[in-house]
Structure formats: structure tokens, C-alpha cells
Amino acid sequence: MHETDSMGSYSWGPMIADGGEYERLPMVRDWDDLTDQVLSQLTITQTVATLGGNSDWLLLFNEPDLPEPVGAEATIDTVVAAQAIVEALFPDHLLVSPAYSPHHYRDIERVYDRFTETYSRPPRWDALAFHCYFYDAPTLARCKHIVDWYVQKAQEWGIDEVWCTEFASVARVGTTGPLWEPAAERGLDFIDYMDAAGVDRWFWYGYGFPPTYSSALVYEEGTLAGTLTLLGEMYAGR
């Protein structure tokens, strides 16, 4: 985080370590997190569950529309049930909505409607979260559409903040290595778009699957290990 001037990070789990000077946000990633790490704390004498990290925020299910191990793999009804439990357990935490993958981003509307039908009130979401990845002009345009959709839904539902909790401009790998420059240009374009649209926070997801593509912010091996890629320089500069 120091290299890219990031302000914080989150983990796919509720017991994340304290980040010191950096904000570290816990997440109830899936149903197993909720039962095995949160509800398991409750006993006759201990009626309050604790979380790791050092944030007032708590993120909920990660991509429940996708199968394990990539996503939380949860039905709409399971997500609704988990939402109700988390609201009851953590009344003082600010809650970030489940973040669906860009493949089924409209499923968050199904969760909202099902929860409202079940409990006669909307879910308590202080921020609406989405994910998006892009590697060319069409996928970048699609991500901008998703931004607009979520911002509109937040306004419609009276939710104060919109977060992009996973995104990356993916660099395809050419004959001489990753094509960093066009990926960095698309990344800056998208960040500027989110900023103008009113997205409050965004979290880059760096990964790489050589020799196909990469969204790494920092070189992990070789003579450049530990230094910023062109994507990292773009992200730190923004």
C-alpha cells in the first residue's frame, strides 16, 4: 500500500489484522465466514461478536453469483438471510452491500427487493458496492455503464455512498511483455469517470496470469521486483 499511496485495504474475511496507519476493513465473505468465524463466537456469556481490522465499515458477501473458490456462491435468499443476521449483530458498523460480479451486477436489485418483501423495509446499506474489469474499449464502456447503473440505484434507494470494491485495467501480454501503456490509459480514464460520477471509494485488484494478462501494480520478481509497474505509477499518481 505504501508504494501506491493507498489509504486502506480489505480482506476476504472478518478477522483481518489491524493495519496501523492504514484502514483495514473486515468482510463477511460468505456463509461459512458468518457461521464459522462470527456466529461461532456467541455463547451464553458472550453475546457480542467481534471483528478484525480497524474500520467502522464492514463489507458483505463477495461475488455471491460466482461459484467457490472465486465467489461466495450464495442464492438470493441466503444473501438476504445473511444481511439480516449481520444487521442484528453489528448495529454500530457501517455496512457495504454484497458486491456482485459484473456478469450479474443487477442481482443486487433482486436482493434489495427480496429483503424488502421479507422484512417490510429495505436492507441497511451505507454504501453500494460493485466490481468491474476491463481490457479494451468495449469492456471499459461496459464498466462505465455499470458505474452509472449503481449510482442511479444508490440515489433511488437513498444510499449515501457508492464503492467499487474490485476493479482493474488488465494489460494483455504481447511478445515483449505486458502492454502496460494502453492499460494505464484506460485505468486513468475509468478512475476519472468514477470520480466524476460520484463513486466514493475504489479498490484496485492486482493479479496476473502470465503469459496471458496482468493487472499488477508492483513487479513481484526479477530485477524490478518491488518497484511500480506503469499501472502502479498511474494508480499512485491518481
- pLDDT digit string (tens) for 91-108? 999 999 999 999 999 999
Contact (CB, 8 A) for 98 and 58: no
- Given this model, what pLDDT does residue 45 score? 63
Q: Cα(138)–Cα(72) distance, rounded to whole angstroms? A: 27
Q: Cα(238)–Cα(232) distance, rounded to whole angstroms? A: 10
- Given this model, what pLDDT does residue 157 score? 98
Q: Cα(13)–Cα(25) distance, rounded to whole angstroms? A: 9
Tens-digit pLDDT profile for residues 14-67: 888 887 778 999 999 988 888 888 888 877 666 668 888 899 999 999 999 999
- Given this model, what pLDDT does residue 5 score? 47
Domains of the chain by residue range:
8-125
Grid cell 480489505 — which residue? 10
**Is the predicted pLDDT of residue 172 greater than 70, yes or no?**
yes
The mean pLDDT value of the chain amounts to 89
Contact (CB, 8 A) for 31 and 15: no
Contact (CB, 8 A) for 200 and 161: yes
Q: What is the pTM of this model?
A: 0.89
**Is the predicted pLDDT of residue 6 greater than 70, yes or no?**
no
**Is the predicted pLDDT of residue 223 greater than 60, yes or no?**
yes
